[in-house]
Amino acid sequence: MASPPWQTLTNPEEIARAVSQMNIAQYHRAHNTPFGSGLIGQAIGCRANTPVAAELLAGNSPILPNIFPETQRIIDLLGTSTLSPLSMDTIITEEEFITGYKVVRR
C-alpha cells in the first residue's frame, strides 16, 4: 500500500488533529497481541498497576495459566529486568520529538 503524499500543516488545530491520529495508530499497534488484550493484557492491566505487573516490575516472573510456553518465556525474560517506572527518563528534547514523528509511517 502506497503512502499518501506529504502535506504541510501550519494550522495548530490541523497539527493537533494529525498528531492525535498518529498517536492513536501508534499506541494501538499492540492491541491484538497477547500483551495488549486477552488474559495477559488483563493480568498486566492497561496501567500496569496490577499484582502481576508489580511482580514483573519487581524482577519476578509470575506464572500465568493457559498461555503458550513461548509467551511464558517472554514473561520470564521480562521478569529478569529490574526497571522501575521511576527510573525512566521521561523528558525528551525537541529534536528527539521531531525525529520520532519523522519515522512514523502514515
User: How does pLDDT run across 23-78, given as a tens digit for each residue?
Assistant: 888 888 878 887 778 888 888 888 888 998 888 878 787 878 888 888 888 878 87
Question: Residue 84: is its pLDDT beyond 60?
Answer: no
Instruction: Please tell me the predicted confidence (pLDDT) of residue 67.
Output: 84
Instruction: Please tell me the predicted confidence (pLDDT) of residue 1.
Output: 57
pTM for the model:
0.47
Q: Residue ranges of the domains in the chain?
A: 12-102
Instruction: Please tell me the predicted confidence (pLDDT) of residue 2.
Output: 66
**What is the DSSP secondary-structure string of the chain?**
-PPPPP----SHHHHHHHHHHHHHHHHTTTTTSTTTSHHHHHHH-TTS-SHHHHHHHTT-----TT--HHHHHHHHHHHT----GGGS-----HHHHHHHHHS---
